[in-house]
Chains A and B, each alone.
Chain A
């Protein structure tokens, strides 16, 4: 019986691919956001709105991750974005090798910035580096205000939090300040946007930030602390 030392990250294989993706995208000056949320928070709707609004100013590519169907990629295409659909066939999160394969199907010359829309899930996606510059988590006022407290990994791993559906605040029991307090408690550096894709409220600040980010005028905060 012999003891052999290994000492390597369990996700080393994923991290290697993520590093390769990061190098590919950085070499082209393409900034990338890994967008995560529970199912139904409004990731795709926010991307549709963003693509339409920034038409002519910022060309967005979207890699769509879903368990089944290409419906979201079709929505992105209809909005005028460049999209590739990854169907995970049951897997609850995207891994770097899936993104690498998807990148070969997207015309990187035709975009100024890339979004990876992860599988709708507040648990697993936080753990896998996809080669992104930052992670953004979307929550919505219809999901309940306990999400940052229940899923702290996601909020600790993200640099941006978007609170969607704020137009519904008068109709739901959602304590906006508690959500922000909890999220900032697990991640004091989190940048927060409050908006409604339905009414357009709050979207201007998001667009402004995104344009600056895409043109590398925004510092990318330090690497995610969880999952790396």
Chain B
């Protein structure tokens, strides 16, 4: 539901960086989206395309989405495990005393640009 707002933030962030390095055009943007962020890939791709096409620097840019698994680490036995349906219970010692180590990312990693001719 909020993929549109996320796409807007990606386009704003990338546009600023592209202007800083005087890019002529951004051809590709790579982002990291955690499984626990609630963001749906297809909706984000659709929203990004729509918003990027309104921005001359990003018109036609490709969005590459890397999903990051939702993982946790047990504070007792240090085991790292997949968090399924947000339930972060250690499968070994069954404690709830665990830390989320990945899956909440919403991150712009990098972009590919065509540099300015001058």
Contact = CB atoms under 8 A, between A and B. Distances in A.
A1 B27 contact: yes
Interface residues of B, number: 36
Give the interface residue-count category, chain A: 35 or more
Contacts, number: 103
B9 to A, nearest CB: 5
Contacts of B86: 152-153, 155-156, 185-186
A126 to B, nearest CB: 7
Given A6-B108, A228-B104, A124 B36 contact: no
By secondary structure, the B interface counts as mixed
Given A10-B10, A226-B37, A227-B104, A5 B110 contact: yes
Nearest to A6: B108
Interface of B: 1-2, 5-6, 9-10, 12-14, 17-18, 21, 23, 27, 31, 36-38, 85-89, 96, 100, 104, 106-115
Contacts of A13: 9, 12-13
A11 B35 CA distance: 16
Contacts of B110: 3-7
Interface in A91-113: 91-93, 95
Nearest to A149: B85
A91 to B, nearest CB: 8
Given A1-B27, A186-B86, A186-B87, 15 more contacts: A6-B17, A6-B108, A10-B108, A12-B9, A92-B1, A95-B5, A123-B2, A124-B2, A126-B38, A149-B85, A186-B85, A226-B36, A226-B37, A226-B104, A228-B104
A12 B106 CA distance: 10
Contact of B37 (A7, A127, A186): A127
A225 B107 CA distance: 15
